[in-house]
Amino acid sequence: MAIAPEILSVLSEINQQPAMHQTPIATLRKRRPRIGLENIHPIKGTQDITIASDGYDMPARIYHPLETSIQPSLMIFFHGGGFVFGGLEGYYDHVCRMLCDHSNSVVVSVDYRLAPENKFPVATNDAWNALLWSRNNITLIGAKKDQVFVAGGSAGANLAAVTAMRVRDQADFQIQGQVLFYPITDFPQSPTQSFQTYNNGFYLTGNDILWFWDQYLQSPADRLNPYAAPLQAKDFSQLAPAFVLTAEADPLRDEAESYARKMEEAGVKVKLTRYDGMIHGFMAFPTPRSDEALLEASEWIKSQKHES
């Protein structure tokens, strides 16, 4: 395995800084500047709103694609950050703009509540309420009601997967797809090969992962709850079609790919793609490969529209 040259320079800088689990949370939450995004990807525009979620006015941002003759789909997007940091700004703004444009989707990016102040299941409920609000306001948003997707990166991909599971278990409607960028799907009770191989020196460390789980969960019993750790589910059938993207040098790689296989074995349509030479969160560092990944995801989203 060879780390891609454009990622090596990023890693050399990252590895000179304290690991995330050794960094004060307040500092983590301030450490997400826009990295190399001088040219904002063009879309029609954005709108900042709030969504009511169990008594909380949750910030969200709506991204509208450029004028088109085809009515856009709806995508609910959840940012990453180990359930502890992240928000509407930084590189996720770039990700949402790219997905909005290339997949012709109205994107609703959700600033769900963070741990440890708000532990599981608060973020999952915020994600669920965002989906319900977006569907209920879809005419106002200007998207197609029968073309709804959930998406996210890392911890946000966990929330997207859990939301898709809740749709199957609790809703009287369906969604057309789930887009999962390097998702965290399970507490590492038995560390996988990728967890052991890439647990240090590749941005996200094994100790980071354990620390994030400790911030997020209320008790060890939550590690077995599929709405916290979707790989713990007993039934993977009848979930929405899934696009699952992994990075080769990512401690979460094997659990994410295991989740994709579990869904596929249960009859779910799954597109699994691994980006060799990449690390966890590589879309945070704008490179041709990160743009390639966003384009691949967008093409998959468009293919699901055509088939529905």
At 199, the amino acid letter reads: N
Within 10 angstroms of residue 219's Cβ, the number of other Cβ atoms is 9
Alpha-carbon distance 40 to 48, whole Å? 17
Q: What is the separation of C-alpha 200 from the centre of its chain, rounded to a whole number of angstroms?
A: 22
- Asked whether the bond before 116 is cis by omega within 30 degrees of 0, the reply is yes
| CA Rg value for the chain | 18
For every residue of 156-197, DSSP letters joined together read HHHHHHHHHHHHHHH-SS--SEEEEES---S--SS--HHHHH
Within 10 angstroms of residue 8's Cβ, the number of other Cβ atoms is 12
Backbone angles phi, psi at 83, to 5 degrees: 70, 0
Alpha-carbon distance 178 to 157, whole Å? 9
Q: What is the separation of C-alpha 197 from the centre of its chain, rounded to a whole number of angstroms?
A: 23
Catalytic positions are: 154, 250, 280
Backbone angles phi, psi at 176, to 5 degrees: -90, -15
